[in-house]
Amino acid sequence: MMRLPRFAYRAPRSVGEVTDILAANEGAMVVAGGTDVLPNMKRRQQTPALLVGLRGIAELKLVAEHDGLTIGAGVTLADLLDIPLVRQRYTGLWQAAAQIATPHLRNMGTLGGNLCLDTRCNYYDQTYEWRKAIDFCMKKDGETCWVAPSSRRCLAVSSTDAAPMLAALGADVCLRSADRERRVPIADLYRNDGIDYLTRQRDELLTSIQLPPAAGWRSAYWKLRRRGSFDFPVLSVAAALQFATDRTVTAARLVLGAVASCPIVVKGAAAALVGRALTDEAIATAADLAAHPARPMDNTDFSLIWRKRMVRDLVSYALREVRGDDVRELRRRVSRAALLA
Partner 1 sequence: MRIIGKTRRRVDARAKVTGQTRFADDIVLPRMLHARLLRSPVAHARIVAIDTSRARAMRGVYLVLTGRDLPIPYGILPVSQDEHALAVDRVRFVGDPVALVVARDELTAGEALDLIEVQYERLHIFADPIDSLTRDEPAIHAAAARGNVHKLVSLAFGDTDRGLADADLVFEDTFFYQGNTHLPIEQHAAVAALDPDGKLVLWSSTQTPHYVHRALARALALPAAHIRVIATPNGGGFGGKSDPFNHEVAIAKAALVLDRPVKICLNREEVFYCHRGRHPVVMHFKTGVKRDGTITAVQLETLLDGGAYGSYGVASTFYTGALQTVTYHIPSYRFRGCRVFTNKPPCGPKRGHGTPQSRFGQEVQLDKIAQALAIDPAELRLRIVERPDTITANYMRVGTIGLAECIRRIVDASDWRARYRKLPHGRGLGLACSAYLSGAGLPIYWNDMPHSAVQLKLDRSGGVAVFCGATEIGQGSDDVLVACVAEILGIDPLDVRAVTGDTDLTPVDLGSYSSRVTLMMGNAAIQAAERARDMLATAVGEHLGVAAGRLAFADRRVFDTQNPAAAVAFDRAVCLAEAKFGAIGTTGSYTPPRSAARYKGGGVGPTPTYSYSAAIVEVDVDPATGWIQVPRIWIAHDIGRALNPALVRGQIEGSVYMALGEALMEEQEFRRLPPRLSAALVHKFPSMLEYKSPTTLDMPEIFTELVEHPDPRGPFGAKEVGQGPLLPVMPALANAVYDAVGVRIDEIPVTPEKILAALKAKAAGKEPRFGPPRFPDIDWPEPLQVPPPWEGGGGTASAPLRSASSAASASSTRSNR
User: Exposed (0-12), middle (13-18) or buried (19+): which is 70, by Cβ within 10 Å?
Assistant: middle
Q: Looking only at residues 101 through 140 of this chain, which bind partner 1 when binding is defined by CB under 8 A? A: 122, 125-127, 129-130, 132-135
Residues facing residue 182 across a β-bridge? 175
**Which stretch in 79-87, 185-193, 242-250, 332-340 sits in contact with partner 1 by CB under 8 A?**
332-340
CB of 3 to partner 1, least distance (A): 4
Q: Determine, following the binding rule CB under 8 A, whether residue 151 of this chain makes contact with partner 1.
A: no
What sign has the CA pseudo-torsion 193, 199, 205, 206?
negative
- The candidate with the shortest Cα–Cα distance to 146, out of 132, 133, 136, 159, is 136
What sign has the CA pseudo-torsion 150, 198, 170, 77?
positive
Q: Determine, following the binding rule CB under 8 A, whether residue 226 of this chain makes contact with partner 1.
A: yes
Query: For residue 221, what are the CA distances in angstroms to 25, 146, 257, 310?
Result: 38, 31, 10, 15
CB of 2 to partner 1, least distance (A): 5
Nearest 5 degrees, angle CA 69-CA 54-CA 43? 115
Query: For residue 118, what are the CA distances in angstroms to 56, 161, 176, 194?
Result: 23, 12, 20, 9
Report how many residues bind partner 1 under the rule CB under 8 A. 37
CB of 305 to partner 1, least distance (A): 8
Q: Determine, following the binding rule CB under 8 A, whether residue 36 of this chain makes contact with partner 1.
A: no
CA distance 192 to 178: 27
DSSP letters of 316-335? HHHHHHHHT---HHHIIIII
Return the residue of 146, 197, 217, 222 that touches partner 1, per CB under 8 A.
146
- Residue 35 vs 110, nearer CB to partner 1: 35
**Which stretch in 196-204, 264-272, 274-282, 299-307 sits in contact with partner 1 by CB under 8 A?**
299-307
Q: Determine, following the binding rule CB under 8 A, whether residue 143 of this chain makes contact with partner 1.
A: no
Q: Determine, following the binding rule CB under 8 A, whether residue 199 of this chain makes contact with partner 1.
A: no
Q: Determine, following the binding rule CB under 8 A, whether residue 67 of this chain makes contact with partner 1.
A: no
- Residue 60 vs 220, nearer CB to partner 1: 220
Binding site for partner 1 (CB under 8 A): 1-6, 122, 125-127, 129-130, 132-135, 144, 146, 149, 226-231, 301-303, 305-306, 309-310, 313, 333-334, 336-337
